[in-house]
Every structure is written in C-alpha cells, then in structure tokens.
Structure 1
C-alpha cells in the first residue's frame, strides 16, 4: 500500500489544511478586530476630547461600544460556520469573556494613567492600544474555544461512525432447525 494511502501519509496534508483554516480564522478575527480597534479608539478620543468623563471610564465605554460591533462581525462573518444552536449561551459567554478582556485592557490604561501619571492624549492612546493588544490574545483564545464552538467536521463524524460500526457486535447466524432442512431436501428431490 503506498504511503499516501496510509494515515501517516495524509497527516502532513491534514496539518496543512488545519493550518490554512487557522490562518484564515486569524485573518478574519484580525479584520473584525481592526474595525473594533478603530471604533474603540475613535469613541475613546471623542469622549476624552468633548466630555469630562475620566480617562479610564471613557475608555471603558468605548470598549463596550467596540465589543458590540465585534460581536456582529464575529458571529456573522468570522465564525458564521460555527454552531448557532445556543445563542443565549453564546452571547452570555461572549459578554463574560469580553468583560475579562475589558478588565485586561483597562488595567493597562489604569496603570499608565493613575500609576505613572501618563495621561496625555498620545500616552492614553498608546496604552489603550497596548491594552487592546494584550486583551486580544485572551479574546481570540476564549472566543474560538468557548464562545463560537466549531461544529464537528464531516470526516471526524464519518470516522466515528466507521469506528462504531467496526466495534459493533456481529449478529450470530442461527442455523435453521433440522426438520425444516429435511422438508426442503424432500421437496428438492421430487
């Protein structure tokens, strides 16, 4: 049997496919995240410039506006092929993990603003972006692992069915009673 027909021969190709899919997912996640970043920074700067809302509170409000924009992008573009059966669960987990990401993001901005006194517009933007970057790593992991769960691929479902069929107990063949065999033999002679 050639190597390409063996499971080991296909493992490199399977890995390439998985890496390609992961690369596409990261690109889509990044595109949605970039839109969220623009929304986040724009809203933050508008609030910092035109209101008296403190730096961290304004940053937090902007983060929540961006989170809502990101949910729409993630659900309907990045993860549109994922399980859609439990929307309440999905939205609850999305908001929970987004809140954790917001704490990470605001923690960096808070430390810069109140811990070091770095609160000029440029410094606030730099630390806001730094916080977003750190929080994005957490969000990517949590969204793909817990929120937008992948549906099982067709190959794994088929291989599970084949495995179940291979493990199933064969039905024993019960021989016909001897009397029935004799009657059939007698009929065949006539």
Structure 2
C-alpha cells in the first residue's frame, strides 16, 4: 500500500497534491455541506495526511474558499461571450454554459459551488456574487439600468435552471440532449430576453367612444 503524502514534495508534486486535495474537498463539501465536512475526511478522500491539508490551506474556511473560487477561465469566457454581436448572443451564451460544465477545470468547481450552496450560507453568497459578476454584471443590455438588470437576471435564471436540470439533477431527456438540440431549444428563449419585451404592455383600448 502506498504511503500517504505527509510533507510537501517538489514543486510539480505539490501542484498535483493541491489539485487532489481540492478535488476531494469539492466532493466532500458538495455531498456533506460545511458542517458535515472535516479536514480528516478530505485528507482521507485525497489519500494524504491531514497535516498536509492544513499546510496548504490553513483551515477549513480557507479550504472551502479555495475549492469554490470560480476559475478565472470561467469569468473570462463569460466576459468574452457578452462581447458577441447581439444577434448571436443567445446562442453563444448557451454554448458558453454547456462548454463550462463540460470543462475539466470549470465544471467541477461549478458543481461544487451549486451543491455546497444548498448547505452553506457563505457559499450561497459566493454563488450569488459569481452570478452577479458574470451572468449579470457583464451585460450591457437594456435601455437603462433597471432594464439591464431585469434582462440579465432572466437570462441567468434560465441558464442556471437549465444547468440544474441537465448537470446536477440529470433529469432525462434534457440530461442527454445533444448540444445542438439544447441550443435550438434554449437559445431562442435567451434571445427573447435580449431583444424582446420583458414587461407587460398596457392593452390597447382601441375604438372610439360613443
């Protein structure tokens, strides 16, 4: 049986160990929440000594922060997507979300944040901040700030709800739809939030009085 890592090794090995610890932490926090996760359980899942977890991360609070920090790659992807020509924006936002969840770096973090947020208020605040910064804060939609926030919020609600059904709860047949089918089904709704009416219009009275 291989001996568990107890002390930091060479730089490359340290990077591998840190990644292993973070992957295990994401699984533990997502499954058991903040209160139910222990450093010892994370270390056991990562096959390292608990002392090594403390060496790299210092505390459970800092481990949670590191495990649920959104990768810069995600923020850069969303920022670039918002710069897409308006007529293509609905399609590209859907593709960006599909690509992010399939990405080996971004996907596990998104999953950990969403699942851990169900147990932990601090992570809910982090999830809220990520959504506000990326899916809402990056948009330039609307005729004024209220309209921008309304449209961006509706887009975020659609994309997050879709992600829950497809990637977290894995409800069929949505979970196994092809990317092209998803884009064909979801992108027009997103595009309507971009270009269409998102508030009720007064009914026309029409006709003339007697």
What TM-score comes out, normalization by structure 1 length? 0.32
Larger gyration radius, structure 1 or structure 2: 1
More helix as a share of residues = 1
What TM-score comes out, normalization by structure 2 length? 0.30
